Chain A
Amino acid sequence: SVAKRAVAEVAQHDKVPRPVGFLPPPPPPCPGKIRHFRI
């Protein structure tokens, strides 16, 4: 009989390491910066 093997919780050290040089997504291109204040 085929038993579904419980997938062990991935141990911390097994977590897929982030690729080297992973950069956060660039800020959205617009709207731009506020130069004085928002009203």
Chain B
Amino acid sequence: VPAAPPGPLGCDDPESEEAAEVAVSYINGRSHHGYKFALNRIENIRVIPEGLNSDIIFLELDLLETTCHILSPTPLENCTVRSFAEHAVEGDCDVKLLRVGRKFSMLASKCHSHADSSEDILQVCPDCPLLTSLNNTEVLTTVTAALNDHNSKTADAYLRLLEIGRAKIQYHPAHIVYVEFAVAATNCSAKEAKDNVEACQLLPDDQSNYGFCTATIATTQDKSQDLRVDCQLYGHQVPTPDSPFLSRPGVTYSQSVQDTP
């Protein structure tokens, strides 16, 4: 009696997890803004037989933002998923893969990310700082002050701002602005930049040296400000291919869908 066809793939089957891993690696590998995302849940899977030993697989994935900026060389498995209290950001992705035998290849992906609702956070953590717009005046002021502070004290290369990754503001019990931003080394030392900052350009791709900074400005009752900055450079890495974007909360990007013939 011919063997019964295999039952439908379950969302927690090893094969589904393998396909999801390929998809998440593809999405992170082709993104160059924001943060890396990790798999949180496989929402659904649909398999459409395509021919002898090959199928089209549609996955609905639920991802969560990690604390690793997309330019960080840290492997995804070592990236911490941002906690609920840090105001998590979720990514919802629909992906389409081709499976031939045990080999998966990506055909298309479409992702939308959104931050958790402020009500949810405040319900659990009334004093937690909440995500704020990246072009908020206080955020821009804090990033500028932090980068200037770092560049005025470092003996290394002069750093330029690449992008602001995220920003939060806490109002109680103290007024604190938290910012995270990506930076890149330039061809100047910080000292040279003092003389002619216009001449300081980002290093070419084959010498690029990216980094990441976190900073806070706490404003006390008497309006004095306490600035703290921490910048770490990653060292030179091989640039990755271009890609769709994922982790701007609230913005949807889609991969140009190459439908299968």
Binding site for B on A (CB under 8 A): 29-39
Contact = CB atoms under 8 A, between A and B. Distances in A.
A39 B8 contact: no
Which 9 pairs show the lowest CB-CB distances between chains A and B? A32-B11, A29-B10, A30-B11, A32-B42, A39-B116, A32-B12, A31-B43, A30-B44, A36-B81
B8 A32 contact: no
Chain A binding surface SS class: loop
A32 B15 CA distance: 13
Nearest to B66: A36
B39 A33 contact: no
B84 interface: yes
A31 B39 contact: no
A36 B41 CA distance: 8
B54 interface: no
A30 B38 contact: no
Contact of A31 (B41, B64, B88): B41
Given A36-B81, A39-B84, A39-B120, A31 B40 contact: no
Nearest to B42: A32
B180 interface: no
Contacts of A35: 38-41
Contact of B64 (A29, A30, A33, A36): A36
A30 B11 CA distance: 5
A31 B39 CA distance: 13
Interface string B46-62: 00000000000000001
A39 B62 CA distance: 10
Interface of B: 8-13, 16, 38-45, 62, 64, 81, 84, 88, 90, 116, 120
Contacts of A29: 8-11, 13, 45
Given A32-B43, A36-B38, 17 more contacts: A29-B13, A30-B42, A30-B43, A31-B11, A31-B41, A31-B62, A32-B10, A32-B11, A32-B12, A33-B12, A33-B41, A34-B40, A35-B38, A35-B39, A39-B64, A39-B88, A39-B90
Contacts of B38: 35-36
Contacts of A30: 10-11, 42-45
Contacts of B88: 37, 39
Given A29-B9, A39-B116, A34 B41 contact: yes
Contacts of A36: 38, 40, 64, 81
14 contacts: A29-B8, A29-B13, A30-B11, A30-B44, A30-B45, A32-B41, A32-B42, A34-B40, A35-B40, A36-B38, A37-B64, A37-B84, A37-B88, A39-B64
